[in-house]
Amino acid sequence: MLDKTGTLTEDRPAVREITPLVGEEDLLGAAAAAESSSEHPLARAIVDAATDRGLAVPSAEDFESIIGFGVSARVQGRQVLVGRPGFLAEHGVHLARLAPVIDQLEAAGRTVVAVAADSEPLGVIALGDEIRTDAVEALAQMRDAGLTPVLVTGDNDRAARHVAAQLGIDDVRAGVLPEGKADIVRNLQKGGTRVVMVGHGINDAPALMQADIGIAMGGGTDIAVESADVIIVRDDLRSVLTARAISRSSYRRTRQNVGLAFLFNGIAIPLATTGLVYPVWAMVAMALSVTTIFVNSIGGRPRLLFEAIGSVGRTHDREPEPKPVGGTG
Ligand code: ADP
Ligand code: MG
């Protein structure tokens, strides 16, 4: 299961179209002020757009972030709301005049954010995000590995499908609330599916915890990183498959080692207890069994061992072997 914004798409969406009802500067200025305390990628894009246009962003008070919906804040005495259109509608903002524009922008695959001040709509801001360059290849590798990708997002259905189509993802769950992401994971698990969730935002944290394996992208929010089992430090989606490959080979070797240990002990302990082997040979067998397991653990590549010994206290001067990425719990 993959989150869209920031996981499959670049962390930095950009403001593409602005449709003001009154004035463009008022719309963008109010939105940027309300968003200035938010760490959501959409919020940063809106603030950047205002700064790029040289607008003086007024300060905001009583900032409140409603995860998965938007933000509210007091800006120059006005109560400003910025967020998904449905969120503003729930707060009594009449968006009828903007409905055709919203529809048209969403059809073009945009993420549409509506802005209102004192329950009066100011207009809409349309944002577009670029697919991460590594995402196409990562998705192809996931399919080759027999995994079924599912895109899950709080964004609108058409923006989600726009991204999914470019990546060849068939299963799309859009308009999902943060708690809904964890519910989707739970339902898949009930059907006997094992789920890996890849995300980065605060809204992904419950799903990251619910999933069999939660993977947080490096640049993710602290809570996402805390909730995950695996953290992708190098901000590259393909690392998900590297982590999988390392885990599979570690697990395979662990099982082989357990098998080897049982084999050695199964044969040698009965021989020793019956007095058929002399104690010194028991010691030799012990050393031999430990060495076998050790050699198997380093993949029959003693070179790795010498390199490890050689590199102690020395800094690497070349690309190191891929190592398991750090995790919590
Ligand atoms: P995703 O699941 O793709 O990471 P989110 O759950 O974070 O998306 O957000 C879902 C939707 O809620 C966004 O597409 C946007 O319309 C709205 N939204 C969330 N946070 C904000 C914000 N800070 N500013 C504006 N809109 C927001
Ligand atoms: Mg996200």
Residues comprising the chain, all counted: 329
* Listed residue (72, 52, 70) closest to 62, CA to CA: 72
Cα(14) to centroid(ligand 1), Å: 14
User: Ligand 1 in contact with 206 (CB < 6 A)?
Assistant: no
Measure Cα distances from 303 to 50, 249, 309, 315, 318 in Å: 56, 18, 10, 18, 16
The answer to whether the beta carbons of residues 33 and 58 sit under 8 Å apart is: yes
DSSP string spanning 6-38? IIIB-S--EEEEEEESS-HHHHHHHHHHHHTT-
Please write the tens of the pLDDT for every residue from 160-199.
Answer: 999 999 999 999 999 998 889 999 999 999 999 999 999 9
Q: Which residue out of 42, 93, 106, 131 has the highest number of ligand 1 atoms within 8 Å of its CB and is therefore the one to mutate? A: 42
What is the distance in A from the centroid of ligand 1 to the CA of 116?
16
At 36 the pLDDT is 94
Q: What is the DSSP letter of 131?
A: B
Q: What pLDDT score was predicted for residue 300?
A: 59
Give the residue numbers annotated as catalytic, written as ranges: 3
Torsions phi, psi for 163 (to 5 deg): -70, -45
Predicted confidence at residue 273, as pLDDT, reads 86
- The kind and range of the H/E element at 61 are strand 60-66
Cα of 91 vs centre of ligand 2, distance in Å, is: 23
Residue 291 alpha carbon to ligand 1 centre in Å:
55
Atom of ligand 1 nearest to the CA of 152: 2
Residues with a beta carbon under 5 angstroms from ion ligand 2: 3, 5-6, 201
Q: Please tell me the pTM assigned to this model.
A: 0.79
Give residue 177's pLDDT. 87
User: Mean pLDDT of all residues in the chain?
Assistant: 88
Ligand 1: atom nearest CA of 199 is 4
Q: Which of 39, 48, 113 to mutate to test the pocket of ligand 1 (most atoms within 8 A of CB)?
A: 113
Residue 10 one-letter amino acid: E
Provide the sign of the torsion angle of the four alpha carbons 83, 86, 91, 96, taken in this order.
positive
Residues 6 or more apart in contact with residue 91 via CB below 8 angstroms: 81, 116, 119
pLDDT of residue 317: 47
Q: Tokens for 78?
A: 């006005």
The answer on pLDDT for 21 being more than 60 is yes
Any atom of ligand 1 within 6 Å of the Cβ of 106: no
The tokens for 30 are 């109010």
> In this predicted model, what pLDDT tens digit does every residue of 141-166 receive, in sequence order?
999 999 999 999 999 999 999 999 99
Q: Is the C-beta atom of 36 inside 6 A of ligand 1?
A: no
Inform me whether the pLDDT recorded for 280 exceeds 80.
yes
Structure confidence by residue, pLDDT tens digits, 225-250 = 888 999 988 888 999 999 999 899 88
